[in-house]
Chains A and B, each alone.
Chain A
Amino acid sequence: MIELIGVSKTYGGTVKAVDNLNLTIPGGEIFGFLGPNGAGKTTTIKMITGILNADSGTIKVNGVDIKTDPVKVKKQIGFVPDSPNMFLRLKGIEYLGFMADMYDVSSKDRTEIIDDLAKKFGMEDVLNDRIQSYSHGMRQKIVLMGSLLHDPSVWILDEPMTGLDPRSSFILKEMMRKRADSGKTVFFSTHVLDVAEKICDKVAIINKGRILFCGTLDEMRNSSMKDESLEKLFLELTENEE
C-alpha cells in the first residue's frame, strides 16, 4: 500500500508541480494514474520512489515512511522509469546482475526469475548483448525484468506500455493483473486511456498537481451522471480545469 498525505513539490521555487496531494493506493488492485502532460504524474512517482524529495507531506509505503527509512521503502518497490535508455554500455545480463545485487536477491531466486521473464518476453538470445544494441521495446523489457527480480510487493510503472510490441504489452498487462490479484500493489501512470479503462480497478486523475478524481470507473460515471467512456470523462474533467 502507498499513502501520500499532503504532499507538495515545487520546482525552482515557483512552479508548483504537486500541490497538497492526498492519495491512498491499496494492495490487491491495479491503480491507474492519469493526467495530461506535465500534470505531475512523474513528479509524484519520483517522490514515492525516493528520486525526488517532497517539500512537505508524508509518503509511506507499506506503513514505512520514506523519510525515516528510505532503503527499507525502496527495497519493497519495483520501479520502471519512463525512459529505458540507461546503462547502455552494459550487457542485458550485466544490468540484471547489477540490479539483483542492489536488491539483495539470492543466486537461486534471480536465476529462476531471469529465466522465467526472459522466456516470457522473448529476451533469452539477447541477454549477452549490450543494451546499446537493443531496440526501444527491448530496452523497456530489460528494465521491466530488472524491476521484478526481487518480487516487490509494490510495483510502480511510469508509462510502461510505450514502445512495447502487442505481445509484450499483453504479457505485461497479464503480469500486472496477476500481481494485483495476489494482493500486491500495482501503480502505473499512463495517458493512454484505453489501456487504463481496460485494466485498472481504480484510477486517479491529476492535473496541475492536484487530484481531480480518485475512485473506480463506475464511481466516476456515477458522479458525472453520464455513462460515457473514460476518454470523454477525462476530457471533461481536465477541461473544466483550464
Chain B
Amino acid sequence: MTPPRWLRPVVFAASLLPAIWVVAAIASDFFSGTRLLGSNPIKEAEHFTGRWVLRFLMVTLAVTPIRQTFGWNWLQRYRRMFGLFAFFYATIHLLIYFLLDLELTWGDLWADIVKRPYITIGMTAFVLLAPLAATSTAKMVKRLGGKRWAALHRTVYVIVVLGTIHFWMAVKRDITDPAIYALIFAGLLGYRFVRWRRRRASPQPQRQRAAAAGAVHPAATSSSSQ
C-alpha cells in the first residue's frame, strides 16, 4: 500500500491543530474574555498541551509496531515528524508553564525544579528530548552513524516513562487518565521488549553465518564486528 501524496501535508496540518487551538483560545480569552478554556485557562492550557506531548510520543512509538505488523513501510517516514511534534508540544507546554503560570520568575522555576519531584521529572524528560529533536535530521544521522544514532534515540523509552510518571504525580487523586496512558506506553514498550527477547533467544541467520565464517577466518570477524 502506498499512501496518496496529500497525506503528509494533511497529517502535518492536523498535528498542528491542537497548538493553534490552544494559542487562539488563550488569546481570545485574554482579549475578549471568551472563556474557551474555562474558568482557569492557564491550568487548562498546561494540561491540554501536556497530554498532547504524551499522545505524540505514543504515535511516534506506535509507528514501528504498526509498520512491522501490517507491513506499511511507508509509515516509517512519518516517525520523525511525530517525534518532532512531541518536542514541539513539550516546548509549548513549558512556555505556558514558565511564561503564563510562573510569569517568568526564575526563582519559582528553580524552586519547582529542586523541590517538586514531578517537575524535576518532567524537566528531565524535556532535557532528554531536546537532543533527540536536534539530531533528527538526515545529516545528523549520518554524522553520528546509524548505530550510535539509534542508541541515542532509544532514550525515548526513558522519556516516555518519565513523562508518564510526571503526569501521574501531577494529578491530585483520580489517576484514571494517567493509568490509561501508562497502559498504552506499557504495551508499546512491551512489544519492543518481547521482540528483543526473541531476537536474543534465536540468533539471526547473519550472526550465525558470521560465527561460521569466524571459525575459518578469525581476522575477518574481528574487523566486521567493530
A binds B: no
Residues on B lying within 8 angstroms of A by beta carbon are none
